[in-house]
Amino acid sequence: MKSKCKVSPEVGLVMGSDSDWALVEPAFKILRDFGVHCEVSVISAHRTPGLAARYAEQAGRRGIKIIIAAAGGAAHLAGVLAAHTTLPVIGIPIASRSLNGLDALLSTIQMPAGIPVATVALGSAGPVNAAVLAVQILALHRADLAARLQAYKQSLKEKVKKGNIKVQSLLENIHE
């Protein structure tokens, strides 16, 4: 499955199975909200290893600048892609019922020297952080993204301030 896009995508969002989409979709939405075009593909490191290698080898020629790879178990998708490209690869380990995602985390983070994979958190924070990290990398050469990142970070600060006000208000009511 590869999404069709009229604008040349800058980020390749790859998942090992279509069942991973529910967890990965927030990354797609964040990239879209920042105006970063991406292509979405389902590629298995083990069931379609040739396809994984070709995808990574050809990504740069298609305009991809960063690959985000999500996989569960010990699938090694991010590592397989990283082995076949010089592009930055961000791995999202997906927790499964067995081992609570420890296998996915270790297979994503424990890469041999010279084949780096930036690895984000298990759970719902992982896709969000992968997308924001991709935007941060792209923003090194795009002032429009840098400005949007500043606004995004400010909105996070405002959310914390509002949360503190809410909790302080609750505490005042408890002490009365």
Based on the fold, state whether residues 120 and 161 are members of the same structural domain. no
Q: How many domains does the chain have?
A: 2
Q: What is the pTM of this model?
A: 0.91
Based on the fold, state whether residues 160 and 118 are members of the same structural domain. no
Contact 68, 129 (CB under 8 A): no
> Would you put residue 94 in left (φ > 0), alpha (ψ -120 to 50) or beta?
beta
For the segment 15-21, the average pLDDT, to the nearest whole number, is 95
Based on the fold, state whether residues 39 and 66 are members of the same structural domain. yes
- 3 lies in a domain? no
Based on the fold, state whether residues 40 and 121 are members of the same structural domain. yes
For the segment 37-57, the average pLDDT, to the nearest whole number, is 96
The 8-class DSSP code of residue 68 comes to E
Distance of CA 8 to the CA centre of its chain: 19
- 103 lies in a domain? yes
For the segment 131-156, the average pLDDT, to the nearest whole number, is 97
The pLDDT value given to residue 96: 84
Residue 2, pLDDT above cutoff 60: no
Domain that holds residue 162: 144-176
Residue 6, pLDDT above cutoff 90: no
Amino acid occupying residue 2: K
Residue 4, pLDDT above cutoff 70: no
DSSP 6-67: SSPPSEEEEESSGGGHHHHHHHHHHHHHTT--EEEEE--TTTSHHHHHHHHHHHGGGT--EE
Q: What band does 87 get if pLDDT is binned at 50, 70 and 90?
A: very high
